[in-house]
Structure 1
Amino acid sequence: MNVFKKLLRLVSDEDYRYLVKAARFGEDYLDDETYLKKVYKALFHRELNLTSPQTFNEKLQWLKLYDRNDKYTMLVDKYLVRDYVAKKIGKEHLIPLIGVWDDPDEIPFELLPTQFVLKCNHNSGCGMYICKDKSKMNVKKVKRALRKGLNQDYYLTCREWPYKNVKRKIVCEQFMGDSLIDYKIQCINGHVDHFMVCYGRTETMLPDFYYFDKDWNFLPYNPYLTELVDFETIKPKHIDEMIRIAEILGKESPAMRVDLYEINDHVYFGEMTIFNHSGFDAELPYEIDLMLGKKLQLPEKKK
């Protein structure tokens, strides 16, 4: 959407204005339930049903409010979760760790390898730096971005409460290569339901999203595919191992998403996501949203 169209929509669309405001400020004066109802209504143009939620997105909002397990904070912490994953599936599935720090000024850039990845442990993307050639790195700019990332309150805009109490750190991991295929595996009640494959990501292009069931049958969940590929070319060689790993890790919450990579004939852990798309996936067709919602069995309330 170009700048003119955005401005026009800001003027003419009250719901869009609220979503832009919420994304920027998080409306911290509102309690979680009130805020989630307002954002959901603005995004989906219907009321959020928390009394008897039906769709997958609705049930994820319910889980934010009523499935509060202290362990979830550790699971979303990109640093602390490493020990948990090592115990559950083996440390050989972890991307090698180079270092961890509390402040950008603590990072010994001169000692880092030529290639590496810096990221915050409590958010998604903000502050991340993928270094492919350290000689071209602007250290001041990288530090500035990391400080911005550390200062981001990732809980506030979507009210994913597990992020609220993560002790913020900077993590440095080994660079694992360009154009990696990201296999996001959605578990429902501890069992793999489907894969979302992020394929074709570059520095300038967003990936296409392909959905498959665990038998690798294509699922028409994405109405915005730009082009189709040979599905066998993006099928992981170790799909059975991915399913095994996802179901081990996926038992920790009713709707856990487990992200994995297949690199050099080996499966690596990426991260765990308790609320897929924060429960605000408005691009998911309604009939699919409803179908997935019927599969998800909610636990007893734990507010």
Structure 2
Amino acid sequence: MSYKKKTLNIRKLVSYIWHLSIIQFFIPARFYSSWEYRRNTGKKLNLNNPKTFNEKLQWLKLFDNNPFYTKLVDKYEVRKYVAEKIGKEYLVPLVGVYESPQDIPFSELPEQYVLKCTHDSGTVIIKNSTSILTEREIKQELRNAMKRNYYYEHRERPYKNITPRIICEKYMVDETGSELKDYKVFCFNGKPKLIQVDYGRFTKHHRNLYDIEWNYLPFSIQYPTDSSIHINKPNKLPDMLRLATVLAKDFPHVRVDFYSIYDRLYFGEMTFYHGAGLEKITPDEYNLYLGEFISLPYEDNNRSKVKK
């Protein structure tokens, strides 16, 4: 084994141990975010004069401490906000909400359904005709998720004080008859600027990027883009942009997600720090391009207010 490869493996091992260590829970948020940013990007985080999209997301994570964000990233509580702002007809039908996996009445659930934890990002269990998960396996996965405080993953403050719960939603598919495409509208100061379409998430994950006129954009965010895969412009795109504008009003940056199902729009979620500000943007010049859309809301003297 070469010296370079051996050194790289040691660094990976140290990084892995650090990530699992209880020590991380006592590390100040600013130090942790700077360390995590460098670990993921290989670059030093510039918080004094952030320019790129990811740098500005790190700044917002640390200094834009709006307590209302906690309600909006809670997958159950945000439903009330959406119903109030744009109408309950845009919500995916709710089957139930539960305090723990033991409370879920599996025998009474529909044949197909979706379970989500309200307090984290990524815990989604889809039960459909192709799923082979047993009830026992589902409960174990949910028990593990319920123990986590997602804030400590990337220091995204809105997740810190969410009450962990589980929601069950109706299983839905679009005109393809398979998994739904995610339409993610990136809003800056309440104005949509970019639409990310995620598809093939459980097979071969791709992301195509479009401007608000549905022109394909030649860059990628973390996952590959494919210009040869034609994604039709949603018939309800103007409505999608209008609804995103209403939900994103007064926030410096937020991503508002939708599903488009047989020309009906359904709200997905709201995300304030896309990919925790760590996802690779290629070519790198688009990292700067997106960063120009974010106007940071606070002065430098507020930076001393960062907490653990």
Q: TM-score, length-normalised on structure 1?
A: 0.89
* 1:134-145 superposed matches below 5 A: 138-145=134-141
Equivalent runs, 1:59-74 vs 2, <5 Å? 59-74=56-71
C-alpha deviation, 1:46, in angstroms? 1.9
The structural deviation recorded for 1:92 is 0.3
Gapped regions of structure 1 (runs ≥ 5)? 1-7
Q: 1:64 to 1:255 in 2, by over 3 A?
A: same
Q: Provide the residue aligned with 1:228 in structure 2.
A: 227
Question: Deviation at 1:71?
Answer: 0.2
Give how far 1:40 is off.
Answer: 1.0
Aligned residue number for residue 267 of structure 1: 265
Q: CA deviation at 1:176?
A: 0.6
Structure 1 residues 167 and 293: alpha-carbon distance in aligned structure 2, compared to 1, 3 A threshold: same
Q: What amino acid sits opposite 1:54 in the alignment?
A: K
Q: Structure 1 residues 292, 264: CA separation in 2 closer, same or farther (over 3 Å shift)?
A: same
Alignment of 1:4-153 (within 5 A): 12-13=8-9, 16-17=12-13, 19-21=15-17, 23-25=19-21, 27-126=24-123, 128-133=124-129, 138-153=134-149
- Provide the residue aligned with 1:253 in structure 2: 251
User: Structure 1, residues 121-179: CA drift from partner, whole Å, max 9, x if none?
Assistant: 011223x3211149965111111111011112211121001000001101000001232
- Asked if structure 2 preserves the Cα contact closer than 8 Å seen for 1:197 and 1:209, the reply is yes
Deviation at 1:292, TM superposition (A): 1.4
Inter-partner Cα distance in structure 2 for 1:188 and 1:250 = 8
Q: Against the structure 1 CA distance between its residues 18 and 272, is the aligned structure 2 distance closer, same or farther, given a 3 Å change threshold?
A: farther
Decide which moves more: 36-45 or 130-139: 130-139
Task: Report the counterpart of residue 213 of structure 1 in structure 2.
Answer: 211
- CA drift of 1:256 comes to 0.2
Residue identity matched to 2:256: V
Return the offset for 1:252. 4.4
8 Å CA contact 2:234–2:263 kept in 1: the answer is no
State how far apart, in whole Å, the 1-side matches of 2:87 and 2:232 are. Answer: 25
- The aligned residue for residue 288 of structure 1 is 286
Following TM superposition, by how much is the alpha carbon of 1:206 offset from its aligned partner in structure 2, in angstroms?
3.1
State percent identity of aligned pairs: 41
Relative to structure 1, the CA distance from residue 68 to residue 18 in structure 2 (aligned partners, 3 Å threshold; closer, same or farther) is farther
Partners in 2 of 1:151 and 1:54 — Cα distance?
Answer: 36
Q: Distance in 2 between matches of 1:290 and 1:55?
A: 4
Kept in 2, the 8 Å contact 1:184–1:196? The answer is yes
Q: Distance in 2 between matches of 1:68 and 1:273?
A: 14
Q: How far apart are residue 282 of structure 1 and its match?
A: 2.2
Aligned residues: 293
- Equivalent position SS for 1:268: strand
Superposed CA RMSD: 2.3
Point out the more displaced range, 218-227 or 261-270: 218-227
Relative to 1, partners in 2 of residues 1:242 and 1:226: Cα closer, same or farther, differing over 3 Å? Answer: closer
Cα distance, 1:44 vs structure 2: 1.8
**Is contact 2:216–2:227 with CA below 8 Å preserved after alignment?**
no
| TM-score for both structures, normalised by structure 2 | 0.88
2 CA distance for matches of 1:139 and 1:87?
35
* Superposed displacement of residue 21, structure 1: 4.1
1:48-103 deviation per Cα after TM superposition (whole angstroms, max 9, x unaligned): 11111111101111111111011000000000000100011110000000100111
Letter in 2 for 1:74: K
Query: What secondary structure does 1:28 align onto?
Result: helix
Contact 1:185 1:257 in 2 (8 A): yes
2:33 and 2:154 in contact (8 A); partners too = yes
